[in-house]
Structure 1
Amino acid sequence: MIQTHAVRLFSERGYDATTVSDVAEAAGVSPMTVYRHFPTKEDLVLLDHYGGLIAGRIAATPAERPLVRRIGGALVDSAALLTGDGGGEGSSADRRFLLDRLRLMISTPALRARHLDNQYALQRAIVGALVDGAADPDTAFRAEAAAGACLAALHTALVRWAEDGGRADLPELVAKALAAAFGDPDPRA
């Protein structure tokens, strides 16, 4: 609830023009409560739990499938789940929230810089779903490279989707970005 109010206020008033106290007031909580859940102002936009969702989907795929297909399929499926595109469960409110968050990340320099931390955390979650801690260094390296490349394709699709006002089918954009990056007509297959 706090994050929803924060993203709404940041979108309406601007990120820099909105204080944590403004967010607390809109959410009906104290500023201390906001900071308890979101240690920094940037976290009000960037904090999410998508890493666990994506890692879970990857872990559920057969280990013999190529890394890029395991990761790509999980990214496309997760996009569908979050937005409701392609038969996913996401609501129009979820879709709007994701779109507003992306627009803020794209347009706010402080958020763009911190977004890299989130990308790194997501990459770590993906690698953790692909290899265990006892994996040899070469296996871990391949997983890190595949995850990084897939996340770059995802980022490209997310930026395009946000610039398009969320009109496009996000899972399809993610699939197209993966196909463009890997020269595969359907990297999910």
Structure 2
Amino acid sequence: MTNGLRERKKAKTRAAIREHALRLFEEQGYAATTVDQIADAAEVSPSTFFRYFPSKEDVVLVDDVDAVVVGAIRAQPAGIAPVTVIRRAMREAFANLSPQQWELERRRQRLVLAVPELRVRVLHQMTEAIDLVAGAIAERAGLPSDDFSARVVAGAAIGAMLAVLPTAYYADGVQPGDFDRVEQALTLLENGLPLG
């Protein structure tokens, strides 16, 4: 089997596992759904499930958009201020999401909002997101991946985004147009956080 075919088959299996898991979580509840039920619905073994997702929580929490954003950060031209780089990368990444990817994001977010143990894990993921963005920002500047200033910039940018996104969670999840609020928040950060 060629690498391209193998990768497509893996992506298809991963998507099937996630789709069946989300459907079962929505139909019978997160807590009532087992890995065995998800594997059975996706027609894979439980061990195959765990090759794709380390835990039941990860089916909901693994965010495919993070890698796209980090790639877009790395692809920005040199000589641009870090927050501008993040804003442009976010715009690029989210502008290219398909309607199916937006629907997946909305479903994931509704589950996170409804399931306390998922909300707790999201806090841990924010730290990981800061690490990813800080590493990309530091790399662009030729600094060590744990550079303090890169980490503060990444934390400020992610904090600004979080400050405007929760209102979307309470409606029908994040919509494509909600990125305008994220862009406003990052622009405010770029401009030194003036009030008013």
Fold shared by both chains (TM-score > 0.5): yes
Shift of 1:58: 0.7
Q: Does structure 1 residue 40 correspond to structure 2 residue 55?
A: yes
1:152-171 map, 5 Å: 152-166=159-173, 169-171=177-179
The answer for unaligned runs of 5 or more in structure 2 is: 1-15
Aligned partner letter, 1:146:
V
Separation in 2 of the partners of 1:3 and 1:99?
14
Match of 2:89 among 59, 65, 74: 74
Aligned partner letter, 1:135:
L
Q: Secondary structure at the match of 1:154?
A: helix
Q: Secondary structure at the match of 2:54?
A: coil
Query: Measured at CA, do residues 68 and 94 of structure 1 come closer, stay the same or move farther in structure 2, by a change above 3 Å?
Result: same
Q: TM-score, normalised by structure 2?
A: 0.78
Identify the residue that residue 3 of structure 2 maps to in structure 1: none
Shift of 1:116: 2.3
Shift of 1:16: 1.0
Q: Secondary structure at the match of 1:169?
A: helix
The answer for unaligned runs of 5 or more in structure 1 is: 83-89
Q: Secondary structure at the match of 2:71?
A: helix
Separation in 1 of the partners of 2:118 and 2:27?
16
Q: Is the 8 A contact 2:130 2:158 kept in 1?
A: yes
Q: Does structure 1 residue 141 correspond to structure 2 residue 148?
A: yes
Q: Does structure 1 residue 61 correspond to structure 2 residue 69?
A: no
Cα deviation 1:137-168 (Å, max 9, x = unaligned): 9x921211111111122234443223221456
Structure possessing the higher relative contact order (Cα contacts under 8 Å, 6 or more residues apart)? 1
Query: Measured at CA, do residues 113 and 151 of structure 1 come closer, stay the same or move farther in structure 2, by a change above 3 Å?
Result: same
Q: Is the 8 A contact 1:79 1:170 kept in 2?
A: no
Match of 1:22 among 31, 34, 37: 37
Aligned partner letter, 2:154:
A
Q: Is the 8 A contact 2:94 2:176 kept in 1?
A: no
Q: How many residues align?
A: 176
Q: Does structure 1 residue 99 correspond to structure 2 residue 114?
A: no
Task: Tell which structure's C-alpha radius of gyration is larger.
Answer: 2
Q: Is the 8 A contact 1:102 1:158 kept in 2?
A: no
Separation in 2 of the partners of 1:69 and 1:41?
36
Shift of 1:176: 2.8
RMSD: 2.5
Query: Measured at CA, do residues 94 and 136 of structure 1 come closer, stay the same or move farther in structure 2, by a change above 3 Å?
Result: closer
Shift of 1:184: 6.9
Identify the residue that residue 85 of structure 1 maps to in structure 2: none
Query: Measured at CA, do residues 136 and 17 of structure 1 come closer, stay the same or move farther in structure 2, by a change above 3 Å?
Result: closer
